Amino acid sequence: MKRATFYAVILVLLAGSGCSLAPDYQRPEAPTPADWPAGAAYQATSTAPAGQVVAEIPWREFFLDPRLQRTIELALQNNRDLRIATLNVDKFRAFYQIERAALLPHLNASGSGSVQRLPADLSGTGAAEIRRQYSAGVGVSTYELDLFGRVRNLKDQALEEYFATEEAQRAAQISLIAAVAQSYLALAADQEVLALSRQTLESRQTSFDLIQKRFNAGVTSALDLHQAQTLIDGARVQNIQATRLVAQDENLLRLLVGAPLPAELLPAALGEAVLLQDLSPGVPSESLLLRPDIIQAEHKLKGANANIGAARAAFFPRITLTGAAGFSSAELSGLFKSGSESWSFAPQIILPIFDAGRNRANLKVSKVEEEIAIAQYEKAILTAFREVADALAERGTIDEQLAALQSLTKATAESARLSTVRYEKGADSFLSVQDAQRALFVAEQNLITARLARLSNLVTLYKVLGGGAGE
């Protein structure tokens, strides 16, 4: 084979491309209203600065507390779930590279040599002889001319899977950031409850000691003494429970961080300056479609669309080419001499005639998978809309609830103070003191819980609106 002919064959191989039978992709209409819900629970909120959508706000600009920032950094470096998601991205990138490689012919260099002795009765000369053969060359094996886009659609499907895993990794990162922040805030709140329970226990112990002296002096009854004891025991139970919750919160935070957490990074109290105060939800179309889980679902839908093209191409002929060019000689020394050139070319065409319905079933499967992907995409949007609406409903009511609890706590504290004064003056029984102190402790706990809910709601909004994970 002349050198020019060999190069022409290679060019034919490289030029083997054709049409795609995949349907034209069209993004499904979002199955959600054009506006967020309205009503008593959805009060007007201020907007984010400079019209930024939440997905464009880096987490460092939202979580302002330096200790929380450092905790999030450690989690991003060490969390095992995030590491697995990142490794999945690498795996699907490699899968895509495998499918993309099928678009080009694979050239292999080869060299071989053989020595064979033939006995006299098998040789053509009637005498024993030794035959030698040496060869060296470059070849292409079973390269498919992608005339109907089968290989290209498989490559596109792998590419969309790779993009989907990238978005899954981004979603995992945002979820991790939110989970660390929620755990951090819960730990801060439980530490406040623990401090409150300790303070309450000390206060009730002091009250019990005074009542014990009054009882010893015959001024008060045994009933008052035992009622005071129940207050101490109740405070002791609350203190033990709060101690356990703080330890469990720390354990969860260490799990999320994936490494030992330095003591100086642990929160001391539930501070109001940890987060930005306001976020703008924007409009559903601009906020929801920027969520990584929805982008992931759309990439999977695009991959299913490409897979239909590959299934359709199976109904058409497949042409594969195998070729090689090089040198052959009976002597190693003459392998590359003039006249030792050798070549081979073996095209093959496969035309499906009867497959017992296999290709038709594969096409049906690919179309059903696309319908499933559409339903999953629409469900992702519906779920996202519900999550944001729930968070907005909480945001629209939490400040009012917090104000009511603050007023309730203040009134309960005054009631407890007056009950104590009336008891000390003999104008009321200790039962009213007991009830007032229990009500005060519950009100103070509920106030801490409401403050935690307010900050947690901001974190939730940041997450469900597709908060940016970048620096």
Do 110 and 154 share a domain, yes or no? no
**Domain for residue 135, yes or no?**
yes
Q: Three-state SS string across 121-148, please? A: CCCCCCCCEEEEEEEEEEEEEEEEEECC
Do 310 and 456 share a domain, yes or no? yes
State residue 18's pLDDT score: 62
Do 343 and 415 share a domain, yes or no? no
Do 66 and 180 share a domain, yes or no? yes
Do 115 and 49 share a domain, yes or no? no
CATH number of the domain within which 417 lies: 1.20.1600.10
Do 310 and 346 share a domain, yes or no? no
Do 10 and 47 share a domain, yes or no? no
Beta carbons of 445 and 424 less than 8 angstroms apart: no
Do 344 and 433 share a domain, yes or no? no
**Domain for residue 445, yes or no?**
yes
Q: Are strands 318-329 and 341-345 parallel, antiparallel or unpaired?
A: antiparallel
State residue 6's pLDDT score: 46
Beta carbons of 22 and 309 less than 8 angstroms apart: yes
Give Cα 178 distance to the centre of its chain: 11
State residue 470's pLDDT score: 62
Do 174 and 265 share a domain, yes or no? yes
**Domain for residue 336, yes or no?**
yes
Concatenating the DSSP letter of every residue in 61-130 gives HHB--HHHHHHHHHHHHH-HHHHHHHHHHHHHHHHHHHHHHTTS--EEEEEEEEEEEE-TTTSTTSS-EE
CATH number of the domain within which 342 lies: 2.20.200.10
Partners of 49 in beta bridges: none
**Domain for residue 90, yes or no?**
yes
pTM: 0.85
Q: How many domains does the chain have?
A: 2
Do 219 and 275 share a domain, yes or no? yes
State residue 409's pLDDT score: 94
> pLDDT tens string for the chain (471 positions)?
455 454 444 445 444 456 788 899 999 998 988 888 888 888 755 444 445 678 788 888 888 888 999 999 999 999 999 999 999 999 999 989 988 888 888 888 888 888 888 887 777 777 888 888 878 888 887 888 888 888 899 999 999 999 999 999 999 999 999 999 999 999 999 999 999 999 999 988 888 888 888 888 888 889 888 888 988 999 999 999 999 999 999 999 999 999 998 989 988 777 655 566 566 677 777 778 889 999 999 999 999 999 999 999 999 998 888 888 888 877 777 777 887 888 888 888 888 888 889 999 999 999 999 999 999 999 999 999 999 999 999 988 999 999 999 999 999 999 999 988 888 887 778 888 888 889 999 999 999 999 999 999 999 999 998 887 665
**Domain for residue 469, yes or no?**
no
Do 268 and 339 share a domain, yes or no? no
**Domain for residue 470, yes or no?**
no
Partners of 42 in beta bridges: 39
Number of H helices, E strands in the chain: 10, 5
Of 333, 351, 369, which residue sits at a domain end? 351
Question: ∠ CA(368), CA(369), CA(372), 5° rounding?
Answer: 90
**Domain for residue 157, yes or no?**
yes
State residue 210's pLDDT score: 84
- Determine the structural domain holding residue 248 and report its residue range: 31-103+147-315+359-464
Of 326, 351, 376, which residue sits at a domain end? 351
Do 377 and 460 share a domain, yes or no? yes
